[in-house]
Amino acid sequence: MTIVTDTATTISARLRERTSQAHQSAERSRFLERLLGGELGIDAWAALLQQYGFMYEALESAAVTVREHGQLGAIPAVELDRASSIAADLAALAPRLTQPLPGELPATREYADRITASAADPARYLAHHYTRYLGDLSGGQAMRVMLDRTYTLPAEEATFFDFTEIPAIVPFKRTYRTQLDELAFDEDAIARLLDEANASFTCNERIFEELDARY
């Protein structure tokens, strides 16, 4: 096994570089721009949050297997788990909704199935873990501000964004990336990680497209 030791090409740096285009494409989706721009109602946010619920149930179920194998060390930390927070937020949001939630969309089912299948390959699972949870700790925090400004989200409706078990987010993200860079991944594993991370952003973009058609 060839271990990556070149600090100029760390795994985290390669991830940022190789997923930059796919990340930007997902962020610029029409649905997300309309949602954060205030063009949609609270129902649209609840529908997206419901889709997140299906994603995180798959992520956190697969994490059990990944932790047992131990190949990702402390990276799949339970402090990041979001499924229960999403369920609580949806329950709190329910009185404000004006129409039924859409349920699991086809694109969401495809994404959740892909996450579940990745549990057998730590590199592929890490791709989904990285894109979702690091996104929540970074752009997700700005997203919370924008949603609150537009739709008014009291604390009990926004626990998805509240990482109460992580006292300081910036040091946590720094440690996450250090742990990522120290993984004993050979080039084949890194290639799978990079490919799957791009696929993860594409899956998210398809969900946005389906939601855009509904709202």
Rounded CA-CA distance 117/124 in Å is 9
Name the packing angle between helices 106-117 and 122-129 (round to 10°).
Answer: 140
- Establish whether 151 is an annotated binding residue: no
CA distance 101 to 99: 7
For residue 61, the 8-state DSSP code is: H
Number of residues that this document lists for the chain:
215
- The closest alpha carbon to 52, from 122, 144, 121, 118, belongs to 144
Which residue in 34, 6, 59, 66 sits closest to 209, CA to CA?
34
130 is in an annotated binding site: yes
177 annotated as belonging to a binding site for a ligand: yes
Residue type, 211: L
111 is in an annotated binding site: no
Per the annotation, binding residues for heme b are 16, 23, 130, 177
Per the annotation, binding residues are 16, 23, 130, 177
